[in-house]
Amino acid sequence: MNIIILGPQGSGKGTQARLLAEKLGLFYFEMGGFLRELAKKDPLTDDILKKGQLIPDDMFFFAMKELLEEKISQNKGIILDGFPRTVKQFESLKNWFDEVNIKIDKAIFLDISDKEAIRRLSARRICEKCGEVFNLATAPKPKDLKKCDKCGGRLIQRKDDNPDSIRKRLEQYRINTLPLLDLFEKERILIKVNGERPIEDIASDLFKLVTA
């Protein structure tokens, strides 16, 4: 089974993707983490990310294919978190999957309001030492509001996790990513889920929907 999961920032798609991957035995691909690992090996990628710029689609897709081809060769299903983000990226992915005779079975959209996204992202904290992510408003909550549960490092707030910056990111999300929903609807693979409920309830519903 191959699944795409998308939703606005703060929707909890990463949490739900990891839970589904564990239950279904899928390879979990998370674009943010992949880019960070890529930056460690590739100075050009590192420079682009440090400048806050977007990785060119062709450059990113080539690197991603190398990783996913290995998983495909192992007959391992995939869940894609954070990719594709644009119609162009989806078309590239679909063309490649068509070439290797693989289909996208489901596309999950976790829907939350801008108000809820701002509330969640404003409460996000990151360990400056190990990069572990916590949230003061939702799970996973740190035991100590100022200290990482994992390594004891100091918890900090990202500079762009403020209401004004979040609103700008959400606007870009609507422009670039929401058009994908129409494509997924036409493909008859779209599953829309209310993402403002408890994590366990969403996870239970998603598992039933993708395995139905």
Residues recognised as catalytic: 13, 85, 124, 158, 169
For 120, residues 6+ apart whose C-beta sits below 8 A from its C-beta are 10, 12, 112, 135, 137, 138
CA distance 70 to 90: 20
Residue 184 tokens read as: 């997924």
Largest pairwise CA distance in the chain = 50
Coil, strand or helix at 11 = coil
CA distance 59 to 168: 25
CA distance 150 to 129: 10
Residue 171 exposure: Cα atoms within 13 Å on the Cβ side: 6
